[in-house]
Each structure stands twice: as structure tokens, then as C-alpha cells.
Amino acid sequence: MATTYSNLLFHLVFSTKHRELLIDPSWQGDLYGYIGGIVRQRRGKLLASGGMPDHVHLLVKTPTDLAVAELVRDVKAISTGWRHESGDGGFGWQTGYGAFTVSESVASTVTNYIHTQPEHHRTRTFQDEFVELLTRHGIDYNPKYLWD
């Protein structure tokens, strides 16, 4: 085949350091915009963003030559630097993350899920939500190593 065709969609989930409530609603939208810029610089596209004061959900489309680990590393490092430059020296992200593949056929469902995070968290903690995502996607995990 002469050309590569792909539609690589990932639902990314990660928390603030120690799941502290570090994302203030007053700049949450700016954070998502900034993350979108980071993703675009890496030739990807941020399709949806949302979350709570202690975590974010992103739906991203990536090029074939960009590893998810590299993208998440860059998003975390550069957005942390942005917050530190804004005078928020205590801001940081947890070490790990969740990355779940998404089919185009369910992208709108995932987008809706991401955009309605406050509704989900009226009855469920981030920890419960993350374990449910791991379980739903068939990912083995050791509860001892879930949280830093």
C-alpha cells in the first residue's frame, strides 16, 4: 500500500499529584486549551476534554508515529510548567495514567462521558471510576500500585 491510513483514538485519564484538588474551575478551561495546543504541536487533535479538580479525561486522535507514552509525558510536563509559570508552584500530575483505545463508532459516547464528568462524580469517586475503566477494558492491575 502506498499510503498509511489510520484513525487512532485514545481516551486518556490521569490525576493530579496525590489526587489533590489542584485544578481550579477559574482556569480549568484554559488548561484544556493549553493541552489542546500541546497535542496539536505533536500533530494530534484533542477531540474532547473534561474532568474534575483532581483529574482529567482527554479524547485524542494521534498520528501513527507518536507513541501515547510520549504524548502523555509531554502533556503533563509542559502543562505543569505552564502552571508553575503562572505562579502555581504546587501543581503537578501523578506519575501514571490510563490509556484506552476508542473505536470511531463509540467516540461520541466517550465524548459525552468526558463532557459530563461532574454528573458522574456526584455518586462515584475518581478511584472507583478509574478501576471501572480498567475492568471494562480488561486491564489487569494490582490495587497496591494504583495510587501514588
Does any domain span residue 112?
yes
Predicted local confidence at residue 67, as pLDDT = 97
Q: In angstroms, rounded to a whole number, what is the distance separating the alpha carbons of residues 146 and 148? A: 7
Predicted local confidence at residue 50, as pLDDT = 97
Q: Count other Cβ atoms within 10 Å, centred on residue 18.
A: 11
pLDDT (tens, 9 = 90+) of the chain, 148 residues, equals 788 999 999 999 999 999 999 999 999 999 999 999 999 999 999 999 999 999 999 999 999 999 999 999 999 999 999 999 999 999 999 999 999 999 999 999 999 999 999 998 999 999 999 999 999 999 999 998 887 6
Does any domain span residue 13?
yes
Does any domain span residue 88?
yes
Predicted local confidence at residue 90, as pLDDT = 94
Does any domain span residue 40?
yes
Predicted local confidence at residue 113, as pLDDT = 96
Please check whether residue 123 is in contact with residue 31, taking contact to mean a CB–CB distance below 8 angstroms: no
CATH of the domain at 95: 3.30.70.1290
Q: Which residues does 62 contact at the CB level (< 8 Å), separation at least 6?
A: 8, 10, 42, 44, 68, 71
Full domain range(s) for residue 100: 8-138
Predicted local confidence at residue 107, as pLDDT = 98
Please check whether residue 69 is in contact with residue 9, taking contact to mean a CB–CB distance below 8 angstroms: no
Please check whether residue 80 is in contact with residue 93, taking contact to mean a CB–CB distance below 8 angstroms: yes
Q: How many domains does the chain have?
A: 1
Does any domain span residue 82?
yes
Q: What is the pTM of this model?
A: 0.95
Does any domain span residue 2?
no
Predicted local confidence at residue 148, as pLDDT = 65
